[in-house]
A and B are shown apart, each in its own frame.
Chain A
Amino acid sequence: MIHSISLNEVSYKVKGKRILSDISLNFPPSRITGLIGPNGSGKTTLLRLILGTILPTSGTIEIDGRNISSYSRKELAREMAILCQNTFSNFAFLCHDVVLMGRDPYRGRFEPMLAEDYKIAAEMMKLTDTDQFRDRLINELSGGEEQTVLLGRALTQTPRFLLLDEPTSHLDIYHQIKILELIKNQAYNMGIVLVMHDLNMAARFCDRLVLLSKGRVIAQGTPVEVLTPSHVKAVFHTDSVVRHDPVLKAIQLTFLNNGSINQGFNHQDVKEMDLCLTNP
């Protein structure tokens, strides 16, 4: 398998408590893989393991067959970039300088940035539509604009894999769509791992989904295979109806109130509707 990240029977424990158990996964290139699951299911931990900031208790993580523990931090940063959930951007840095930080893994401690680095940074700012913020201070941007600049920085690392930890969780709908579209447009030349809370956005933008619960993989496959009402019920304890959205050309979920009997549905109804809608 070329250009892929693979996890082989990875487990992670903290103080004897299992966070992840026997995870075997493969993240292929040119695909967006969504990691979904309830709070505390181990999504972010999994992302940190891939990033190499924490080490698995057992099992191995490999990029193209090479164990990530044999990479230096800088080498890893050339292979993959991360867009974090909590980045502190309340400092008065020019956006251009922030994006240029993405070239740091390519330059040694005593080496200045080269013309090539400035060129790549400028390209990525154009690509993410943030060159308008070039000479503005990042702490003066809105949350959505700031996140787009940080995406530009991650792309400036020219990574083969892009890891995103709920990149849109606190953004307005315009910036959610904008950022996810930008990511989708990059999928042709890098593997993307996307941790998402919003199942409908995940269904819409991801090629593959991995559903985690209590540190185990419950299901993986296409959104249609993974986002079934029975999976959603088992993992999120929420009733749902799945339908195919003809406009988005993707499945979308409608969540019912817990105790859906109030809405005039019972589980039998939901199951029947589910069958009708998924087998039109």
Chain B
Amino acid sequence: MIAIEKDKKYFTIVIFLLFFLSLVVVAATALGSVTVSFQETVGIIINKIPFVSLDGTWTKAQELIITEVRLPRVLVAALVGGALAIAGAVIQGLFRNPMADPGIIGATSGGALGAVLAIYLGWASYYFYALPVSAFLGALIATFIVYLIATDHGKTPVNLLLLSGIAVGGVMISLTSFILSLAIKNYELGRQIIFWLMGGLDGRSWTHLKMSVPIILPATLIILTYARDLNIMLFGEESAQGLGIDVKWTKRILLFLTSLLTGVSVSVGGSIGFVGLVIPHIMRLIVGPDHRILLGTSFLAGASFLPLADLICRTIIRPEELRISVVTSCIGGPLFIYLLIKRKDEVKSL
């Protein structure tokens, strides 16, 4: 029976992705300007776990580099990548549209506007939390506005949501550009804003991780429990209601959770393109459209992809760093084009 073979296949894929993710985390932590061997990296990471202490051959400096500089950055990258990918999978399912990504509900552009405002008005340089909080609120407020515009008589049709998302996103982007054009006279301010808009994980610390974990993990876990509802809603909203789904509330909750995930991602990593669009797509080609497997695997794949992209950012043109969107779009764009050309028929039926 194919049903059982399918479960086996899913199990294998999940195990492989978990293995790949741990490999990526170790590799991305081990590589950098100061050499630390893979073995030592694993030892230092394991030592970080409470009540475990290994005797290692590493120096204090190496340990600090791994635990204080590289590891938090890699973990932030993994969390943000996972969050963006699962948010993208939810949005594509909810909109029944493979072109949708978390940006479509205004969260990305709203977050960008919030962050740019915080930088331009100088809040960001006074107070550490000003930028992430402002970006986060921007993302939530933008999604809320998009939702309000698209809601008519208590109903929120997805096509209205799509249009209002594009419209509100357009306004947010133009406001961001306006602020940028004001800021550009001051070179340093302009550079900060542009760099932020291209996304980046340089200098991300345990503080950033502590900010994002309490939102990303619960939101992801709740979304995973909505897998069956998303499957049923793919078949149309009326038939979903006939199957006992409260479509209005399910939509609200999922939109809220995706805007949380996107908001946190934007607030700790800036605008990061293509992850929310391409990763769920690739996973859909591998595991199919069933959200019971698609959501989790998208998270794992996104969590593996972003640390890799970030590794390229910080190593390829050393001592300079690339901005992360440059890399994600550079890999994601052509990969997407390749998939579109090679597997047109499959992509059409997703």
Seen from chain A, the residues whose Cβ lies within 8 Å of a Cβ on chain B are 48, 51-53, 73-78, 80-84, 86-94, 96-98, 101-102, 104-105, 109-110, 134-135, 139, 150, 154, 157, 163
Interface stretch among B168-176, B190-198, B235-243, B258-266?
B235-243
Q: Is residue B290 contacting chain A, with contact meaning CB distance below 8 A?
A: yes
B238 touches A110 (CB 8 A): no
Interfacial chain A residues near B231, Cβ < 8 Å: 93, 97, 101
B244 touches A87 (CB 8 A): no
Q: Is residue B317 contacting chain A, with contact meaning CB distance below 8 A?
A: no
Known: A97-B290, A101-B231, A109-B225. A91 touches B241 (CB 8 A): no
A84 touches B236 (CB 8 A): yes
Interfacial chain A residues near B3, Cβ < 8 Å: 94, 96, 134-135
Bound-state Cα–Cα, A134 to B4, Å: 12
Q: Is residue B141 contacting chain A, with contact meaning CB distance below 8 A?
A: no
Interfacial chain A residues near B225, Cβ < 8 Å: 109-110
A157 touches B234 (CB 8 A): no
- 8 of the cross-chain contacts (CB-CB < 8 Å) are A53-B238, A81-B243, A84-B236, A86-B236, A88-B234, A92-B349, A101-B231, A139-B349
Interfacial chain B residues near A86, Cβ < 8 Å: 236, 238
B243 touches A104 (CB 8 A): yes
Q: How many residues of B contact A (CB 8 A)?
A: 26
Q: Which of the residues B2, B235, B238, B245 comes within 8 Å of A89, measured between beta carbons?
A: B235
Q: Which of the residues B2, B234, B243 comes within 8 Å of A102, measured between beta carbons?
A: B243
B234 touches A77 (CB 8 A): no
A94 touches B6 (CB 8 A): yes
Known: A88-B96, A91-B234. A73 touches B241 (CB 8 A): yes
Bound-state Cα–Cα, A90 to B242, Å: 19
Bound-state Cα–Cα, A104 to B231, Å: 11
B236 touches A88 (CB 8 A): yes
* Chain B proximity of A136: nearest CB distance (Å): 9
A92 touches B350 (CB 8 A): yes
Of B2, B96, B244, B289, chain A has the most CB atoms within 10 Å of the CB of B244
Interfacial chain A residues near B234, Cβ < 8 Å: 88, 91
A74 touches B244 (CB 8 A): yes
CB closest residue in chain B, given A154: B242
Q: Which of the residues A81, A94, A98 comes within 8 Å of B2, measured between beta carbons?
A: A94
B289 touches A73 (CB 8 A): no
Q: Which of the residues A84, A96, A97 comes within 8 Å of B242, measured between beta carbons?
A: A84
Interfacial chain A residues near B228, Cβ < 8 Å: 101, 104
B232 touches A104 (CB 8 A): yes
Interface members, chain B 2-25 (any A CB < 8 Å)? 2-3, 6
Interfacial chain B residues near A97, Cβ < 8 Å: 231, 290
Q: Closest 7 CB pairs between A and B?
A: A77-B244, A105-B244, A82-B242, A135-B2, A74-B244, A91-B289, A84-B239
* Chain A proximity of B113: nearest CB distance (Å): 34
Bound-state Cα–Cα, A92 to B234, Å: 11
Contacts A77-B242, A81-B243, A150-B239 known; list 18 others, CB within 8 Å. Answer: A73-B244, A73-B245, A74-B244, A77-B244, A82-B238, A83-B239, A88-B96, A90-B349, A91-B349, A91-B350, A92-B349, A92-B350, A93-B289, A94-B3, A98-B235, A104-B243, A104-B245, A154-B242
Bound-state Cα–Cα, A154 to B243, Å: 8
Bound-state Cα–Cα, A87 to B244, Å: 16
Interface members, chain B 212-256 (any A CB < 8 Å)? 225-226, 228, 231-232, 234-236, 238-239, 241-246
